[in-house]
Structure 1
Amino acid sequence: MSSSHNNGYDVVVDVDDEGDLGHTDLTDLEFHQSTYSTTDPSAGKAGRSSARSPRTAGGPSNSTSTPSGKHHLFTLSFYAQYFDVDTSTVLHRCRSALIPRTNFLDIIDGNPDLYGPIWITTSVVLMLFLASTLAQYFARFGEEGDGGGKRYTYDFTLLSGAAGMMYGYTFIVPAALWVVLRWWGVESANLLELACLYGYANLVWLPVAVASVSPITILNWVFVGVGLASSGLFLFRNLYPVVSATDHRTAKILLIVVVALHAGLALAIKILFFAHGSPVGTKDPNMTHPVEPPKSDGRLF
């Protein structure tokens, strides 16, 4: 018995032992459904192509790896992928930042997000403004008893000062560090990973701002010092393997600069927002009316 394929069917023909086909008519033919399938060559190529570039589960795809991704750089859809995170992921990264047990860059696993850093930094800005306002109010109340009988006015210069300082530090410093690392040929951390790292490092300033409402100066210094030590150690621990890819002298200089800038941030938070008569605000926090400009005596200088 022999068979042949014909348009998706098996044609079965009886053949005797001598190889003679004998008399064959249509009644001798049996048709069976064939299991043979024709594969489109183009479909196979598409399948192999997709298998070579799988998307990491739970993280944004790297659209810049394809030529078409470059056109998406100036669209909202390109940045929207870095905000596509769920609450559990953000909370897990927040816990890992406050209680670091492993390298934070290993936790984000090449899938940084911008939702957490922007949300945390914005919360820190608002908390610094509110806590500084309360701290100055309590300081004035303690000096004048009933506050001098004047209504307290909010100083929104503190809000703009906090926004400029926190957003500038969170995104400009990582960008500068990334440029230096790229100059030395280090590619172990990209720009968004560094921004994500610095953004989650700001989380410690939320409890520090709440605790610094206390009018006791020494306690404010202690709270800010604890925040500096915690977040500074977090940054040092995660950046050390990255900057170590450069030579020893460059790595040492970069780590010193990172720690010095972070210490400067902590010092600015203490002096500008949790000291009576903050330089960020007005010179007289008790003032309820704007200061009238001095009368001119006709001289230019």
Structure 2
Amino acid sequence: MASTKDPFQFQEFEEADNLLEANRDAVTISIEDGDVKPEKQRKAASFSPDDDPLGSDDKTELLSGQKKSAPFWTFEYYQRFFDIETYHVKERIIGSMLPWPGKNFIHVYLRRNPDLYGPFWICTTLVFAVAISGNIANFLVNLGRPDYKYTPEFQKVTIAATAIFSYAWLVPLALWGFLLWRTNKTLNLVSYSFMEIVCVYGYSLSIYIPAVVLWIVPSEWLRWFSIVVALCLSGSVLLTTFWPAVRDDQPKIIITILSTIVVLNILLAVGCKTYFFSQPKLASQLHSVALTEVTKSST
């Protein structure tokens, strides 16, 4: 006989009643109570776009992928040029010392991400290398003379810093201004930013650091040989980099720009060698001539 009791009828369970009787202070929630929501849902529902810590301008810049850069006169502008990994600096130094024909230093190594960390420390290291090597070379040349007393020439640091940092900053500034002017005249020229040109010039000086160390040896042929090698490597980096920027210009402009780049590079190398490493020998010769004349006049 079929049961007359409806199987879908709600039934009360005795266990639930027993639990409620045991703990009468318990809070019960009905499934029909739509006002009770979990705390996270209430917080999410009460969130307003106006409470977003990011302003509407910042969100627009982030979504569009464009962030306003700081003005060039602030520290924030130059801070990003010192944010570079060590292996990138090492890669760029090796690339400047071992240039390959047809490889543009900016396109291969910088990739629109120039830095000032490497050029700054390369120039600083070169300044102290020139000054210290010049003092050591002076000491070795005059070693053995009874009337010689070694005196450190600290002014050489100032002179070396003025020459090297002027070359690493003023020459790129003039070159950047000239290329910018020629780009406005000829629209199909390749343009480089000022920081990219500074970066190229800074890294191109790295080959002179080992060359300057070799200048300590009192051998003129070794010094000139190292100068020629350093000039060829450094000049190759500069010429292969700036050739695409001027190759579509007038022939006279091309010859003028490339010749100026090479001549200024030669003047820096030969000038440092002549002033810091040839002067002690010249002073020694002048001193010997003066002593000879004094001896002759006394007799």
Per the alignment, residue 265 of structure 1 pairs with: 268
C-alpha change, 1:285 and 1:122, in structure 2 (3 Å) is farther
Deviations along 1:243-299, one digit per CA (max 9) or x if unpaired, are 2243332122111111111111121022112214379xxx57999xxxxxxxxxxxx
CA distance in 2, matches of 1:255, 1:93: 22
CA distance in 2, matches of 1:274, 1:222: 14
| 3-state DSSP of counterpart to 1:209 | helix
Give ranges in structure 2 of 5+ residues lacking alignment: 1-31, 35-44, 288-299
> In the alignment, is the contact (CA less than 8 A) between 2:207 and 2:234 conserved in 1?
yes
1:148 to 146, 149, 152: 146
With normalisation by structure 2, the TM-score equals 0.70
Deviates most, 92-101 or 172-181 = 92-101
With normalisation by structure 1, the TM-score equals 0.69
Per the alignment, residue 194 of structure 1 pairs with: 197
Which one scores higher on RCO, CA 8 angstroms, separation ≥ 6? 2
> In the alignment, is the contact (CA less than 8 A) between 1:204 and 1:230 conserved in 2?
yes
Per the alignment, residue 58 of structure 1 pairs with: none
Whichever structure has more strand as a proportion of its residues is 1
TM-fit CA distance, 1:150? 4.1
CA distance in 1, matches of 2:237, 2:277: 24
Per the alignment, residue 137 of structure 2 pairs with: 135
Per the alignment, residue 178 of structure 2 pairs with: 180
TM-fit CA distance, 1:149? 5.4
TM-fit CA distance, 1:51? 4.5
2:239 to 233, 236, 240: 236
Per the alignment, residue 80 of structure 1 pairs with: 79
What is the total number of aligned residue pairs between the two structures? 240
Per the alignment, residue 161 of structure 1 pairs with: 159
Give ranges in structure 1 of 5+ residues lacking alignment: 1-28, 32-36, 56-61, 64-68, 288-301
> In the alignment, is the contact (CA less than 8 A) between 2:98 and 2:233 conserved in 1?
no
> In the alignment, is the contact (CA less than 8 A) between 1:118 and 1:199 conserved in 2?
yes
Deviations along 1:207-243, one digit per CA (max 9) or x if unpaired, are 1001111111111111111111110111111111122
1:98 is aligned to 2:103: no
Identity across the alignment (%): 27
Per the alignment, residue 65 of structure 2 pairs with: 53
* Amino acid in the other structure paired with 1:105: I
* Amino acid in the other structure paired with 2:195: L
TM-fit CA distance, 1:46? 7.4
CA distance in 2, matches of 1:272, 1:278: 11
CA distance in 2, matches of 1:117, 1:227: 17
* Amino acid in the other structure paired with 1:196: C
Rg comparison, structure with higher value? 2
